[in-house]
Structure 1
């Protein structure tokens, strides 16, 4: 493939301003990186949270910024120190927070942040795996330490993360409870949910108790009430709560920011102490090795990405509008460079 000097990208120049199609230079790669021609990109709520400026207190981003945080594509160039990937490989991944931007023709990404796409998946389906899959895996395994037979509650089971988390939790041998509307109950049960709460009729915190782990994706009052359903020593992992001092230290964000996080998260930590449970705030980190584990789950039919809608690149803003509406059943995908695979 001839690599051009310019490429299309969907990006914004200032926080809280609309993103637009622009022409920017194709990135150059370092010795440990590969250049990937992006076929498809999965969309996630973190994308528009970054665009709104809500994430800059945690991670400063250099503007202008190309949107998108997960992709599937084809390797077209490899760095001098890259030995595990070759030109022509089908790969997927989630770039680190300094190299976001998967709604573009190309991305330069470190070899440690990608994995080969399982043969069972096309580019469209594969692009919906990295961010939601890794987020769920890290919540359930790294922070949740889920063991066979333990009881796990996963909020919003029909969403992009929920559909992944249910399947991963079941693969780990957990008993899984989730929430869903009646129209989505069949979907979450097909993914392995043992108990489904119709949130139109019942409130989870009124009917559940003595759980080993809660994976919260909603925040707010849902997060606060999640402490009530955990057993002493249980674990609450949230992606929509507040960072802690330890989070700031673990992510090398400096003493001042870590102390700010400590003050902000104090009420939640008091909740945790009152209920004698463990509270963790999660922002996932890229990991090619963990993606390989997810690939093995896909190959053994324990994990299947659920796709809700697919949009063309020129419809990227419409795709985000739909995602932000909160009714997506699985992942929303954008065809960056659509190719029909054999």
Structure 2
């Protein structure tokens, strides 16, 4: 089978498509034939070595976290799935390996793919969709009537976060570049700020929650736009950032929460239900596996708005 691997940290040029043996499964595992795998910013932060404290430095490493595909084989202890079932799911966040013809998972890492969406759409749901649910529902605890600012709203997590915040009754102000304004509006944002025309710091409004998905807004900057008991949520944890947020939260009404993604099968089933009824899932571009370097180069440079996938079958 084909699998994307790399033997050292670096840019997209370290990624290689190699032939590998098809893995075998244990009694409680399933072998999934991958139809599509999602591209996430976390992928390139890992293979560039920016997350090595969490990912480790043992090589070779695989790439890709979330996927959609067909169950090819089930272990004797698997009870809820059988060969031929369409599923979507995730691998260990800092281990990866979804960019492969086959992956091995347990039942807790997958859920049935909604019949109403494509494999490409299902593949982009786990990481970005679960991140949006965790941010909006838990970390920001968004509720009816609240004012929410989403910075970096035209990316994968942002497009789902807009929808989820609206579902929970909030009024959403989205911040995006010129190419993302229309898409943020389509996702349901009540107001959209083009950051090339207006700086966030110039906004007169104060917010119950500010969600920064751009990794560019600092907590010090966000505090000026927060209400006295507002919450700032940021992505991509670092040891220092977690300590600073913890210490600040002890003494201030304004809170700083940092996303530590916790994928769960229950979360996947929630996403599946939302996808069946009310969730828009935009997939902006699909790449062939042979073009994986191009895929990561273009997405990491911001040339693809929303979500992109690599198609394997």
TM-score interval (norm. to shorter): over 0.9
C-alpha displacement at 1:99, in angstroms? 4.7
How far residue 317 of structure 1 moved from its aligned partner, in angstroms, is 0.6
Q: Mapping of 1:1-342 within 5 angstroms?
A: 7-16=1-10, 18-60=14-56, 62-97=58-93, 99-240=95-236, 242-243=237-238, 261=239, 263=240, 265=242, 276-300=253-277, 302-337=278-313
Contact kept? 2:65, 2:90, Cα under 8 Å: yes
Cα distance in 2 for partners of 1:209, 1:31 equals 56
Instruction: Find the aligned partners of 2:50 and 2:175 in 1 and give their Cα distance.
Output: 26
* Cα gap change, 1:268 to 1:295, in 2 (>3 Å): same
> Which whole-Å CA distance do the structure 2 matches of 1:335 and 1:162 have between them?
23
Q: TM-score, normalised by structure 1?
A: 0.85
Note the C-alpha offset of 1:141: 1.3
Q: Aligned with 1:328: secondary structure?
A: coil
Where structure 1 has 5 or more consecutive residues not aligned to the other structure, the ranges are: 1-6, 244-260, 338-342
**Structure 1 residues 79, 224: CA separation in 2 closer, same or farther (over 3 Å shift)?**
farther
Q: Structure 1, residues 38-94: CA drift from partner, whole Å, max 9, x if none?
A: 000110111111101111212426421111111110011122332122211111112
Cα deviations across residues 103-154 of structure 1 (Å, max 9, x unaligned)? Answer: 1001111211111111111111211111110111111112222212222211
Cα root mean square deviation, aligned? 2.1
Alpha-carbon distance between aligned partners in 2 of 1:23 and 1:160, rounded to the nearest angstrom? 30
Paired residue for 1:3?
none
- Residues 61 and 95 in structure 2, CA contact (< 8 A), matched pair in contact too: no
